[in-house]
Chain A
Amino acid sequence: DIQLTQSPSSLSASVGDRVTIACRASQIINSSLNWYQHKRGKVPKLLIHDASSLETGVPLRFSGSGSGTDFNLTINTLQPDDFATYYCQQGYSSPPETVTFGGGTQVQI
């Protein structure tokens, strides 16, 4: 299966900061990379699909970039509501291989 490596695994930031999270795939996945936000006690939320398409209702301060094997999630002007764990996920694989998630990046104060 395709492996996804996120970096950093955690970061400390302040309200108003610009934050970038990286995700590297073990093989070329074109633009088949998605980003989720997961808060403790809540349901995961899709932020970005296909590398750079913002999901409906997601604030414009979130953006995604990259293709091939290297991808980034950027949060401009970090808000208090953005402190959470972020996961990348690849949807390039077809059966018998499966989708996979990155290990997560915890964004904390």
Chain B
Amino acid sequence: QVQLGQSGAQVKKPGSSVKVSCVTSGDTFNNYGFAWVRQAPGHGLEYMGGIIPIFPLTNYAQKFQDRVRITADESSTTVYMELSTLTSEDTAIYYCARAQWGSRRIGDIAGLHYFDSWGQGTLVSVSS
């Protein structure tokens, strides 16, 4: 059973930043990609961005392009997601997910395909 262990819940002030971690095993870290997906109250699943650590290659959803940063640390086999300039609309559960990756078409940059294992989720609350 793949284990993705996320850091605990956080409460943040508007305008601040949050950093969430996702620990995995070495085998998983070197062979898969990772995505960050969030669910705000009353909303559906929303893809924020992803990383393929072996390159490394990152890719962000346009909505978050200017204020999200996803990194990976090989020494600790941990993936991080940092979101800046928080507002109340960023209150959500943030999930990391293991991703199958590859190129669908010849010449394409590798992308994430689907998410077959998920972390337990991290609640981030933004409130003044």
Contacts and interface: CB of A to CB of B under 8 A. Distances in A.
Chain B binding surface, main DSSP class:
strand
A31 B37 CA distance: 22
Interface stretch (B9-17, B21-29, B44-52, B74-82): B44-52
Range class of the B interface residue count: 20 to 34
B7 interface: no
B111 interface: yes
Contacts of B110: 94-95
A56 B105 CA distance: 26
B101 to A, nearest CB: 9
B61 A98 contact: yes
B114 A89 contact: yes
Contacts of A32: 104, 113
Interface of B: 35, 37, 39, 44-47, 49-50, 57, 59-62, 95, 97, 100, 103-105, 108-116, 118-121
Given A46-B116, A98-B112, 10 more contacts: A1-B61, A32-B104, A34-B113, A43-B118, A43-B120, A49-B113, A91-B112, A95-B111, A97-B111, A101-B45
Interface of A: 1, 30, 32, 34, 36, 38, 43-46, 49-50, 55, 85, 87, 89, 91-104
9 contacts: A44-B37, A44-B97, A49-B113, A89-B114, A91-B114, A98-B59, A98-B62, A99-B112, A101-B47
